[in-house]
Amino acid sequence: MDALKYKFILPLLIIGGTLTILGVILFFPEYLLHMTISSTIYCLGVILILTSTLLIIEEFEVFKTKKSYRFLYYYSYYSLTIYLTHNALFFLFVGQLNIFSIWIILTVVMVLLSLLIRYAHNKYGIKVSVKVQLSRLARGISNKIEMKHKNKQKMLEHERLIKF
If asked whether residues 134 and 90 sit together in one domain, one would say no
pLDDT above 90: residue 141? yes
The pLDDT value given to residue 74: 66
The pLDDT value given to residue 70: 65
Q: What is the pTM of this model?
A: 0.43
Per-residue pLDDT tens digits for 2-29: 666 677 888 888 888 888 888 878 767 7
pLDDT-derived band at 158 (thresholds 50, 70, 90) equals confident
End of a domain among 29, 59, 89? 59
The pLDDT value given to residue 1: 55
Distance between CA 164 and CA 156 in Å, rounded?
13
Higher-confidence residue: 111 or 73?
111
Count of positions (residues) in the chain: 164
CB contact set of 56 (below 8 Å; sequence gap of 6+): 9, 62
If asked whether residues 49 and 89 sit together in one domain, one would say no
107-123 burial: b if 16+ Cβ within 10 Å, else e: eeeeeebeeebeebbee
Higher-confidence residue: 139 or 31?
139
Is residue 65 situated within a structural domain?
A: no
If asked whether residues 116 and 153 sit together in one domain, one would say no
Is residue 14 situated within a structural domain?
A: yes
91 backbone dihedrals φ, ψ, rounded to 5°? -75, -15
Per-residue pLDDT tens digits for 71-108: 666 666 677 777 777 777 777 777 777 888 888 888 88
Query: What domain range includes position 27?
Result: 2-59
Question: Alpha helix (H) ranges present in 8-78?
Answer: 9-26, 37-59, 70-77
The pLDDT value given to residue 2: 65
Distance between CA 103 and CA 157 in Å, rounded?
66
If asked whether residues 31 and 79 sit together in one domain, one would say no
Is residue 64 situated within a structural domain?
A: no
